[in-house]
Amino acid sequence: MNPDLVYLAQTETTAGFLSQNAEALIKTKNRPSGKSFLMSVDSLTTLRRFTRVPKHHKNRVRRAQKTSFVYPCGLAIRVVKDEAHLQFLQKLKWSYSTSSNSSGKGFDETFAKERADVIVFTCRNFFEDKPSSIYRLGKRKIKKIR
C-alpha cells in the first residue's frame, strides 16, 4: 500500500479519508492547513512510537472504545479496535484520519468517491455514525473535549 495516497474507507464511526500524507488530505478536503489531524493507529505498540501515555491513564487508553485522546505532546491519537477497519489499518500501521466530507459540511458519498485516490469497499458500505469521544490527557487530569 502506498502511504502517500488518500484512501476512502469506513472507519469505526464514519466514512473517512485516510493517508500518511497530511498535505494530500488537506488538498483533498479543501481544509485550512493550520488544523491538525487525528491519527489512527493499529495497536498500543504503534501508539508508543508517537507518544508516551501518562501512567495515570494507561488502563483508560487500553480499554477505550471509539475514543480519541489528545496527549500532552499535542497529538490526537485513537487506537482502533473495530475489526473491519483494523484489517485495513494494519497494512499501514498508522494513518491520519479525517471525515470524508468537504471541510465544514456533511457526508456526501459522491464527493468522497470523487476525491479519494483509492476506495476501500467493505460489506458495511459507507455510513456516518455518532462521532467518537475526545479527551485531553494531562499527567493526572482528564478533560472531555467532545
Cα torsion 97, 103, 105, 110: sign: negative
| Res 51 pLDDT > 90 | yes
Could you tell me if residue 132 is inside a domain?
Answer: yes
Could you tell me if residue 108 is inside a domain?
Answer: yes
Cα-based angle 136, 142, 146 (whole degrees, multiple of 5): 50
Q: Answer whether 0.75 is exceeded by the pTM.
A: yes
Nine-digit cell string for 129: 455514525
Q: Give the span between the Cα atoms of 66 and 42, in whole angstroms.
A: 13
Nine-digit cell string for 3: 502511504
Burial 37-59 (b: 16+ CB within 10 A, else e): bbbbbbbeebbeeebebbeebee
Q: Give the span between the Cα atoms of 130 and 7, in whole angstroms.
A: 21
* 18-41 mean pLDDT: 89
Could you tell me if residue 2 is inside a domain?
Answer: no
Could you tell me if residue 1 is inside a domain?
Answer: no
* 1-19 mean pLDDT: 88
Flag the least confident range among 50-59, 81-90, 104-113. Answer: 104-113
Check which CATH number belongs to the domain holding 70 and give it: 3.90.870.10
Question: 126 lies in which domain range?
Answer: 7-144
- Residue 12 has what DSSP assignment? S
Could you tell me if residue 128 is inside a domain?
Answer: yes
Q: Give the span between the Cα atoms of 24 and 42, in whole angstroms.
A: 21
Domain tally, the chain: 1
Nine-digit cell string for 31: 481544509
Could you tell me if residue 19 is inside a domain?
Answer: yes
Could you tell me if residue 100 is inside a domain?
Answer: yes
Flag the least confident range among 28-32, 76-80, 101-105, 141-145. Answer: 101-105
- What does the chain come to in residues? 146
